[in-house]
Structure 1
Amino acid sequence: MATLEVLGFGENGWGALLLVAAGVTLAVTAAALAIGAVLGTIVAAAKLSHSRLLNFLGHLYTTIFRGVPELLIIYLIYFGGSSAVTAVGKAMGYQGFLGLPSFLAGAFAVGVISGSYQAEVFRGAYLAISKGELEAASAIGMHRGLRLRRIIMPQVLRYALPGISNVWQLSLKDSALVSVTGLAELMRTSQVAAGSTRQYFLFFVVGGCLYLILTSLSDQIFNRAERRANRSMPSAMGQV
């Protein structure tokens, strides 16, 4: 079968399926980044807390999920979660296996991993804020919520953007591991296409190229966001 035919959008082509799979990969990564942002914010707050218990739990979370292999975490959440759901189903009288949705399990697993890295990004961004600004805000009577909204959050987001960009790229690559759950994302679809056509080299190269396109476009978007966030801070961009 000709190369153009198998990569095309015709009856025997895989082009449309590969593009849909790339969209699924982006959806998994976006969902994982959002989940990770929530978890990362909570964990960063715990690690910045003066409470020894919260500080310990925050360090425990980042140590575990940055130290355990990503694939193992995906297996634990997908198969462990499915076993838990099945046990609940049996307790309610349902007989049979209940599996977690592949997208949900995959996005949550990658999100948990992402959260461990985002926690460090947010913690570092908070520590980069000038203490003088926070003290000045307290001195003029700003309450905690106002300080958070007007001083802390805008600066944390600005300082965190480069790190979040790296976490996004990491999550984008980690999403390939979600293929073990059967989700038809880019890696899984490339494998199926390669097995169906026996053109392994071709489809794995095409899959790699699509990943590179996604990461390159992501870089441009985050770079533009950084420039926009720093437009009122010319010195941060190396400008005069």
Structure 2
Amino acid sequence: MDSFVNWSLLALSAPGWGGVLLQGFLHSIEIALGGYALGLLLGVGGAFGKLYGGPVLRDLLECYTTVVRAVPELVLILLLYYAGTDLLNQLLGLVGLGTVDISGLMAGVFVIGVVQGAYSTEVLRGAIKAVPAGQIEAARAYGMSPAKVLRRITLPAMLPHAIPGLANLWLIATKDTALLAVVGFAELTLVTRQAAGATKAYFLFFCAAGALYLALTLVSNLVIGVIERHARQGFVEQR
């Protein structure tokens, strides 16, 4: 029972593991932020490509979103991490360049971003389609350029529809970072497992990790709530 109540194991300095847990937690946040940003960028391009692109582009994007959403995320992480690195080094070898050792942070951001991109594409596509066509037609009738229509009409009108889905994707991204433990990246889940294995205080450390994930979720919900209220100012629900 001592291991369940030995709070000194969570001390920030050795022999405590608190500093290690916080460092892993920061790595998880870095990957989640980077992967979410990359996924959002891919999602914007994918949504507009599906809506306004040619038939070939739409078919390619449909394959991308279908495959990513159909295959378990753990399998995608293993495939993109190992097979992607191997494919990149083979391509570099073909052009006479040496192999590269991709950092775990960059690989994690890329993997999470590719997964997030498929879901963001569908969230943003649905949000854009929810914008009343009459608003866009009226903007065009006033002589607005496509860029101005996008900036002044489409984006503000689609945000209230997109934020709930994008908020869920952010929370999913924070949890998906735990899957990177299988490829040996020192995020929160992996360092928690290492700390628990070294001290045998499994209950203490996994409860501590759960508390950190919960704190991140609660803070995220507060920020998301502020953003959503700001985006819905002046928004009238269409019936």
1:15 aligns with 2:11: no
| Aligned match for 1:4, one of 2, 7, 10 | 7
| Structure 2 segments unaligned to the other structure (5+ residues) | none
Q: Which moved more, 1:152-161 or 1:119-128?
A: 152-161
Question: Residue 167 of structure 2 aligns with which residue?
Answer: 165
Q: Which amino acid aligns with 2:163?
A: L
Conserved? CA contact 1:83–1:98, under 8 Å: no
Between the aligned partners of 2:92 and 2:138, the Cα distance in structure 1 is: 56
Between the aligned partners of 2:101 and 2:79, the Cα distance in structure 1 is: 13
Question: Residue 27 of structure 1 aligns with which residue?
Answer: 30
Question: After TM superposition, what 4+ stretches of structure 1 lie above 4 angstroms from structure 2?
Answer: 88-91
| Aligned match for 1:46, one of 42, 49, 56 | 49
Q: 1:53 to 1:26 in 2, by over 3 A?
A: same
Tell me which of the two structures has the higher relative contact order, counting C-alpha pairs closer than 8 angstroms and 6 or more residues apart: 2
Conserved? CA contact 1:106–1:181, under 8 Å: no
Q: Quote the sequence identity (%).
A: 37
Q: 1:104 to 1:137 in 2, by over 3 A?
A: same
Conserved? CA contact 1:21–1:189, under 8 Å: yes
Between the aligned partners of 1:152 and 1:134, the Cα distance in structure 2 is: 7
| Aligned match for 2:194, one of 178, 192, 203 | 192
* Superposition deviation, residue 155 in structure 1: 2.1
Cα deviation, 1:160-202, whole Å, max 9, x if unaligned, reads 1111100001111111011122221111110111111111222
Q: Which moved more, 1:7-16 or 1:152-161?
A: 152-161
1:87 aligns with 2:87: no
Conserved? CA contact 1:7–1:14, under 8 Å: yes
Q: Which amino acid aligns with 2:31?
A: V
Between the aligned partners of 1:143 and 1:129, the Cα distance in structure 2 is: 18
Cα deviation, 1:77-124, whole Å, max 9, x if unaligned, reads 111132234435655475xx7432111111111111111111111011
Task: Report the TM-score when normalising by structure 2.
Answer: 0.90
Alignment map for 1:1-240 (pairs within 5 Å): 3-49=6-52, 51-88=54-91, 90=93, 92=96, 94=98, 98-233=100-235, 235=236
Conserved? CA contact 1:81–1:100, under 8 Å: no
| Number of equivalenced pairs | 233
Q: Which moved more, 1:111-120 or 1:1-10?
A: 1-10
CA RMSD of aligned residues (A): 1.8
Q: 1:142 to 1:20 in 2, by over 3 A?
A: same
Conserved? CA contact 1:78–1:102, under 8 Å: no
* Superposition deviation, residue 230 in structure 1: 1.2
Q: Which amino acid aligns with 1:109?
A: V
